[in-house]
Amino acid sequence: MTLRVLLADDQALLRGAFRTLLETAEDITVVGEAADGRDAVRMTRALRPDVVVMDIRMPDVDGVAATAQICADPELSATRVLVLTTYETDEYVAQALRAGASGFVGKGIGTDDLLDAVRTVAAGDTLLSPAATRALVARFLAAPEAGPPSDSAQLDVLTAREREMVALVATGLSNQEIAERTYLSPFTVRAHVQRAMTKLQARDRAQLVVIAYRTGLVRADQP
């Protein structure tokens, strides 16, 4: 299966460079390029890519607003957004996650890592595993600007094992790391996570993280 990617960046030179990098992979093709967030939303609706690689700082409609529009559109539920930016600040990362982005990476990323990032996001996972990202998510998704707390009863639909999986996802662990910690297979972990996402109506793992913090399942002051 070939993954269809839309690039959104206001710098034509960078779009060309990322197109070249992405198309070195046999399983990835770039179906379009957008110069701002408004075009990104319009082209996403027209082309239905698997992944939108989205810059944050763009004229007219920025990448966060464009991400929010794409992720809120039920007709685009199969499309994932990967934020690719030079601005890897706490504020931008938190905004992107709350808008519905499935991951974020810096523009200094290597070719292999960029390809893996696109594949990871397309598979329904998110890029929240590094320790620095774990601290970032814990700090900012628990902050007041992340939105009001959710009722912990929202978690009542989950089994004990599914609650455990959601909590571990929220600390930034990958499926493989969760499997090693719980002595389960990665396939079993993925199945539990997917069921939790379905029950909680979460678009992806990033939204599971938001739910975990807002319901109090995980707190920012936890180690």
> What pLDDT shows up at residue 132?
37
The 10 Å Cβ neighbour count of residue 175 is: 22
3-127: CATH superfamily? Response regulator (3.40.50.2300)
pLDDT of residue 214: 81
Q: What is the pLDDT of residue 129?
A: 38
Closest by CA to 176, choosing from 163, 193, 159, is 193
Tell me the H-state helices in 111-185: 111-122, 131-140, 160-170, 175-182
CATH architecture of 149-214: Orthogonal Bundle (1.10)
CA distance 191 to 198: 11
- One digit per residue, the tens of pLDDT, for the chain of length 223 reads 899 999 999 999 999 999 999 999 999 999 999 999 999 999 999 999 999 999 999 988 999 999 999 999 999 999 999 998 876 666 777 788 788 888 878 787 788 888 988 988 898 777 653 433 554 565 555 565 555 556 778 899 999 999 999 999 887 777 778 888 999 998 899 899 989 999 999 877 777 877 888 888 887 655 5
Q: Where are the domains of the chain?
A: 3-127, 149-214
Q: At what angle do helices 12-22 and 111-122 cross, to 10 degrees?
A: 80
pTM above 0.85, yes or no: no
Position 47 scores a pLDDT of 97
**Which whole-number Å values give the CA distances from 168 to 114, 134, 205, 222, in the listed order?**
25, 11, 11, 12
How confident is the model at residue 148, as a pLDDT?
57
